[in-house]
Amino acid sequence: MIRIDTETGLIREARQVPSPNCDERPPGCEPELIIIHGISLPPGEFGGQWIDRFFTNCLDPADHPYFREIVELRVSSHLLIRRDGELVQYVPLWKRAWHAGVSCYQDRDHCNDFSIGIELEGVDTIAYADEQYDLLCLTIAALQRAIPSLANAPIVGHEDIAPDRKTDPGPAFDWERFRAKIGVGDVD
């Protein structure tokens, strides 16, 4: 079971790694959209401390050549689901995480303002783990129970809100399997 403290916006079962890359949502904005992402650092590698370090601005560019390209970025996500099923939280649910970038959903720009970002550790071309699907569904169900504005919220991929820039979670994410598991016919 996933339990959300509705006062703090923290998930009790998640390992907490506070990111400075967040701020207040604009007045009147509540989470109304769930965005699924895919991430691996370095690209194509799983495990390790790199995602935590990236979202907390602690990447050392000397640790991998790719890190030199991203070390100046200031990004975060509310949650990460690792391949082994670990849940990590970087930003309280009530705050605006910086995960969507330049984005638009149904003619509404700035998706960070009104969304929850969930990263899955993975890449576009490698199937996501069973544990990730299980925990993703449990987490979304908990979000929908705890946050009224998410009760019937659309669930989309990063590729859906930023199609010219992003491809994640990509073809490796089985939307049909996810829809069947979460018990909805159409998530977007």
Residue identified by tokens 């207040």 is 24
E strand intervals along 75-114: 79-81, 87-89, 95-97, 104-105, 108-109
| Calpha distance 188→52 (Å, rounded) | 29
Residue identified by tokens 């602690």 is 58
Tell me whether strands 104-105 and 33-39 are parallel, antiparallel or unpaired.
unpaired
> In 105-150, where does DSSP find H-type helix?
130-146
Active site residue 119: yes
**Which phi and psi angles does 18 have, rounded to 5°?**
-60, 130
Which residues, listed in sequence order, are joined to residue 120 by a DSSP beta bridge? 38, 81
Question: Which of 32, 119, 121, 159 is labelled catalytic?
Answer: 119
Q: Report the catalytic residues.
A: 119
